[in-house]
Structure 1
Amino acid sequence: MRSEAWRSELTGELARGLPAGRVITGPAVIKGYAHDEAEWAPYGTPAAVVRPRTAEEARHVVQVCLRFGAPVVPRGAGTGLSGGANAIEDCVVVSTEAMTAIKEIDPLERLAVVEPGVVNDDLRAACAGHGLWYPPDPASSPWSTIGGNVATNAGGLCCVKYGVTRDYVLGLQFVTGTGELVRVGRRTAKGVAGYDLAGLMVGSEGTLGLITEITVRLRPAREPEHTVAGHFSSVVHAGHAIAAVAEAGLIPSALELVDRHCLAAVDAWKHMGLSTEADVLLLGRTDGPGPEGELEADTMLACFERAGATFAVRSTDQYEADALFEARRLAYPALERLGPVLTEDVCVPKSAVPEMLARIEEAAARHDTLIANIAHAGDGNLHPLLITRPGDEAAKRRAQAAFEDIIAAALELGGTVTGEHGVGLLKRDGFSTEAGPAVLALNRAVKDALDPRRIFNPGKVMAYQPEGA
């Protein structure tokens, strides 16, 4: 625990090199920056919150923190679900919320240069005005920022066909663990000079540097999508439909699963009437051009029907189709209204999806825990949502046991502990098991090389303390 004099000296030094209002020390305001949306992930109280507006201001913050030995915790919009943005005691939280400039959109090179605080949907809207498209679209896209998306290598609904954030990051500017401001990556279509340091930063969860600018690849605006909806009597039957789509050689532009608990929660909130029609809703989309897209949609419909759908149809009403996908995006906030939600993020091979869904149901029964399921089903990324009543400590312990069982099952089936939310705090043990001692040592070696003083987000991803702690 640091002394009050140390905190006062730190915050004074931070403020001396920044415009007024950048450094926040008021307890009531700081409290709102102490954690992300990860249920039950531990957090401490920051010594200060800093909201820089330029890369040089961010660099100043890191240089001061290096002199004081103060941990730096980068923070985007705080929508994370693994505790990756949670404060540790007496850290400096660096919020990028004021770094919101879209500096450039280049239609010829099909790229954009943005600051890390740009909201995902705002970038997509700006690109659309140039006939371009930024594909990564996490369910939190109306609120989450590009910097946060880069930190966790976020995916989203269309990543099954179009890839995740790493596939679109061309270059980065960031402050290093020695306080330097550097650029890595490129703007050209090709380039293999040196190690892929930009790729290394993507998914590093703020543990290797403080990102201040991002150059992303763009695509041309895509063809209109065809939507297929299927109702199933169980998540396992829906899982067989997911496997059937993969076996048919289809690469859908989206394939999303929403179970009865999610549908009921959305209905209770938005009165959409979905839970009266299906126990499990499977939503698929294809965007092939012309007759190719039509054929893909018909093939997907046949896969749903063969797998035992109680009802399946190709939507001819775009408003209705968009409403169904909006219900998918609303599932998580709708469930939060019921009580604390512990969110899983495992990813398994597509062939293992039916078995993984069955294992999740078994874990729910074994631990007497309500588990709702939403999933980016087309790429095997499942999001079991473990729901408890507020204040019920016994239910909390059961949910945490189910959480660990689900991680173990995913690894047993050849999967990974996180597909897009990141390791953060909640999955450090799972990551250690998945990686093994030799690979964990490589990760620590990278951390030490780029962050020798261990000031960036210590304790996240791996159990790693600040230097001298």
Structure 2
Amino acid sequence: MSLDALQNLPLAGPGLHVDTSPEIRAMYATDQGPVLEYIEPLAVVWATSVRDVQAVMRWATESGTPVVTRGAGTGVSGGAHATPGCIVLSLERMNRILELNAEDETAVVEPGVINADLSTAAAGHGLMYAPDPASYRISTIGGNVATNAGGLRCAKYGVTRDAVLRLDVVLADGTLISTGHRTFKGVAGYDLTGLFTGSEGTLGVIVGITVRLRYMPVQSCTIAAFFPDFPTAAAGVLAIGAQRVQPAILELLDGATLLALDEVHGSSLRHRGDALLLVQTDGFGADAEAQVVRSVLTELGGSVTMEGSEEAEHLVELRRHSRGDPVTGRVRVGEDVAVPRSSLVRYVAELERMAADHRVKLKVVAHAGDGNLHPTFWVQDGDTDGRQRLDAALDESIRVALALGGTITGEHGIGQFKLRWLPEEQAAELLELQRRVKTLFDPAGILNPGKAVPGV
């Protein structure tokens, strides 16, 4: 079946739009992840309804055409990169909040709804959508679900999976199914909602999402603590936990990250320390918890903000963008590993050793509350064997994280880029079981092939 046949499918409502122009195909060929092989899709298709998506998938099954589903394209693991002979199915125009039930504390949204827009709508009812990836102002809920995105608040409120109650999914053959429930509790049958969440578009196309909302905190206190070195700041994370305080936000930035922020924003953070720990407490006990945090971090030698939180809140916003600041003249590689919190200090020290051993520069930001680190190694342009040393440092950072009981991805997914490392974390038997699951849902292998699980 030809692309012309796709263009002319009889659909309800405004229908879908197909574009095969070189400019659009190039624009939608990749997300923000590393590009292993640049491939352009045959076409980009925008759906505006569930029936549109069903029709596209029926066409794709009949024609044997691979489908790469895409939201805003903010992923950083290559999960939305085009694959050979594919179309890109964009859901960005399915962007309606269908229902917001303040009494049930739930919302029903289409996959193209922007994360921040849902939070704004919920705020009018004294509620919030808790998952808040750094890209929350531009990333879609559908993309967040597909990658099981995390965020700054996930240490207290959990990742996307913890907020998803129910999903509407179009399968490879166009069949529409609904999984899960509208209630907070529900254990009937296998947890297919959890299975689809984080499946990166390899099992079905998510077209409707019911999420749990949370109460907006009545108060929050944000604390900034500068430390003379990164390991001591990391130790502050464990010290806070030892006092049984659960911050909503607990973020860690090293000296190189502070310097990079200074260069972009004209600030002077690096002069105040070689590491920054940002802590936000919330709820009715926010003040009491903040007092405990200040005391603990001061005892560790931190320079701690004692009054007001305006500056600290500004620093939290800078943190959200600390990995995406424009950098010229550098080649860099970065990752998204997580380790048990008890191994955080050791892993930080290991990262610094790796950078020295491989003669590369290092900067690290971390969702320290749950042990999720984003180390970035870099060298200057023109370094003759710099790329080889960067790759060696990156590979070692993965191996060491796994040896400490960690994982190769805390929140960004496997996508295309991390397939090479997945067999180092998961046994062959487990990978084979996942391949069987993929085959069950997608027997023709047309849903986002070459992503998430090796060999499918």
Indicate whether the TM-score tops 0.5: yes
Q: Could you tell me which residue of structure 2 aligns to residue 11 of structure 1?
A: 3
For structure 2, which runs of at least 5 residues remain unmatched after alignment? none
What does 1:34-183 correspond to in 2, within 5 Å? Answer: 34-183=29-178
For structure 1, which runs of at least 5 residues remain unmatched after alignment? 1-8
Q: Does 1:215 pair with 2:210?
A: yes
What does 1:8-407 correspond to in 2, within 5 Å? Answer: 9-17=1-9, 22-289=17-284, 292-309=285-302, 311-316=303-308, 318-334=309-325, 336-337=327-328, 339-390=330-381, 394-407=385-398
User: In the TM superposition, what is the alpha-carbon distance from 1:229 to its structure 2 partner?
Assistant: 1.3
Instruction: Give the distance between the partners of 2:37 and 2:376, measured in 1 at CA.
Output: 19
Q: Cα distance 1:166–1:20, how it changes in 2: closer, same or farther (>3 A)?
A: closer
Indicate if the aligned counterparts of 2:253 and 2:277 stay in contact, CA closer than 8 A. yes
Q: Cα distance 1:95–1:386, how it changes in 2: closer, same or farther (>3 A)?
A: farther
Q: What is the TM-score with the length of structure 2 in the denominator?
A: 0.95
Q: What is the TM-score with the length of structure 1 in the denominator?
A: 0.93
RMSD after superposition: 1.7
User: In the TM superposition, what is the alpha-carbon distance from 1:159 to its structure 2 partner?
Assistant: 0.6
Task: Answer with 329-338 or 93-102: which moved more.
Answer: 329-338
Instruction: Give the distance between the partners of 1:198 and 1:382, measured in 2 at CA.
Output: 27
Q: Could you tell me which residue of structure 2 aligns to residue 4 of structure 1?
A: none
Q: Cα distance 1:238–1:338, how it changes in 2: closer, same or farther (>3 A)?
A: farther
Counterpart AA for 1:262: T
Q: Could you tell me which residue of structure 2 aligns to residue 437 of structure 1?
A: 428
Instruction: Give the distance between the partners of 2:197 and 2:380, measured in 1 at CA.
Output: 36
Secondary structure in 1 aligned to 2:347? helix
Indicate if the aligned counterparts of 1:42 and 1:86 stay in contact, CA closer than 8 A. no
Instruction: Give the distance between the partners of 2:49 and 2:172, measured in 1 at CA.
Output: 18
Q: 1:456 aligns with which of 432, 447, 451?
A: 447
Instruction: Give the distance between the partners of 2:3 and 2:115, measured in 1 at CA.
Output: 31
Q: Cα distance 1:91–1:133, how it changes in 2: closer, same or farther (>3 A)?
A: same
User: In the TM superposition, what is the alpha-carbon distance from 1:293 to its structure 2 partner?
Assistant: 2.2
Q: Deviations over 1:322-358 (max 9, x none)?
A: 2111110121121545645422110111110001111
User: In the TM superposition, what is the alpha-carbon distance from 1:24 to its structure 2 partner?
Assistant: 1.1
Q: Deviations over 1:438-461 (max 9, x none)?
A: 111121121111111111111112
User: In the TM superposition, what is the alpha-carbon distance from 1:42 to its structure 2 partner?
Assistant: 3.1
Counterpart AA for 2:180: G
Instruction: Give the distance between the partners of 1:98 and 1:392, measured in 2 at CA.
Output: 44
Q: 2:412 aligns with which of 408, 421, 426?
A: 421
Instruction: Give the distance between the partners of 2:282 and 2:127, measured in 1 at CA.
Output: 16
Instruction: Give the distance between the partners of 1:338 and 1:301, measured in 2 at CA.
Output: 39
User: In the TM superposition, what is the alpha-carbon distance from 1:188 to its structure 2 partner?
Assistant: 2.2
**Identity over aligned pairs, percent:** 43
User: In the TM superposition, what is the alpha-carbon distance from 1:33 to its structure 2 partner?
Assistant: 0.8
Report how many residues are paired: 453
Secondary structure in 2 aligned to 1:333? coil
Indicate if the aligned counterparts of 2:278 and 2:312 stay in contact, CA closer than 8 A. no
Indicate if the aligned counterparts of 2:15 and 2:47 stay in contact, CA closer than 8 A. no
Indicate if the aligned counterparts of 1:266 and 1:330 stay in contact, CA closer than 8 A. no
Q: Deviations over 1:79-98 (max 9, x none)?
A: 11111111112111111111
Secondary structure in 1 aligned to 2:393? helix
User: In the TM superposition, what is the alpha-carbon distance from 1:429 to its structure 2 partner?
Assistant: 2.5
Instruction: Give the distance between the partners of 1:131 and 1:196, measured in 2 at CA.
Output: 30
Task: Answer with 393-402 or 455-464: which moved more.
Answer: 393-402
Secondary structure in 1 aligned to 2:235? helix
Instruction: Give the distance between the partners of 2:140 and 2:232, measured in 1 at CA.
Output: 35
Indicate if the aligned counterparts of 1:262 and 1:335 stay in contact, CA closer than 8 A. no
Instruction: Give the distance between the partners of 2:210 and 2:54, measured in 1 at CA.
Output: 19
